[in-house]
């Protein structure tokens, strides 16, 4: 979705994030701005550029998992049962936000676990969290054993991070320099 926006549109969108109220009781370490950016990029935008979940489960392609809410690919609650989502399942907006909180917490746990030796500014932590929100250990295993070894041993440095982080992107989308 972001690939079709102009730089001016992106700047306006980023500026609007700071005006969006956050859900009450949010205890995450991610900044408010990053929380909103991730929600918007994983969901959709309303006319006021506020992030909204996609309530009907879908698949982008045959290879992709079924996704719902704010990029959630795990189990959802259907009635009283938790199960894998199926294309066409519909969830409530409240459930989408609950799933997003769970997914954000999982991303934060990954940041804490896999980047313990890197001192980060809030902006750096937010960027790494955005990365961890989408990347699984399975995909890390496929791409580079050196990166994986440093990641799992907690020995990542800025130099290693700068070398290997740019290698991760969705091969089925348009690559934008600097992402």
pLDDT of amino acid 170: 55
pLDDT (tens digit, 9 = 90+) per residue, 105-114? 888 887 777 7
Residue 107 C-alpha from the chain's centroid: 8
User: What's the average model confidence in pLDDT over 119-137?
Assistant: 77
Please provide the distance, in angstroms rounded to a whole number, between the alpha carbons at the two ends of the chain.
14
pLDDT (tens digit, 9 = 90+) per residue, 10-59? 444 444 444 444 444 434 488 888 889 899 989 998 888 889 999 999 99
Q: Quote the strand ranges of 65-155, DSSP E.
A: 67-69, 76-78, 81-83
Q: Quote the strand ranges of the chain, DSSP E.
A: 44-45, 51-52, 54-58, 67-69, 76-78, 81-83
pLDDT of amino acid 157: 74
Yes or no: say if 39 and 61 are a contact pair by the CB < 8 Å rule: no
pLDDT of amino acid 105: 87
User: What's the average model confidence in pLDDT over 129-156?
Assistant: 67
Percent of the chain with pLDDT over 90: 26
* Higher-pLDDT residue of 25, 158: 158
């Amino acid at each position: 979705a972001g690939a079709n926006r102009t730089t001016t549109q992106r700047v306006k969108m980023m500026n609007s994030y700071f005006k969006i109220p956050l859900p009450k009781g949010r205890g995450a370490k991610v900044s408010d701005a990053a929380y909103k950016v991730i929600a918007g990029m994983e969901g959709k935008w309303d006319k006021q550029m506020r992030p909204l979940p996609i309530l009907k489960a879908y698949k982008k392609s045959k290879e992709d998992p079924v996704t719902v809410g704010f990029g959630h690919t795990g189990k959802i609650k259907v009635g009283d049962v938790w199960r894998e989502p199926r294309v066409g399942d519909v969830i409530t907006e409240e459930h989408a936000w609950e799933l997003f909180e769970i997914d954000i917490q999982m991303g934060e746990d990954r940041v804490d676990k896999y980047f313990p030796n890197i001192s980060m500014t809030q902006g750096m932590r937010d960027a790494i969290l955005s990365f961890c929100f989408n990347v699984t250990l399975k995909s890390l295993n496929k791409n580079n054993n050196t990166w994986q070894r440093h990641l799992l041993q907690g020995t990542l440095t800025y130099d290693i991070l700068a070398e290997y982080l740019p290698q991760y992107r969705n091969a089925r989308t348009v690559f934008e320099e600097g992402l």
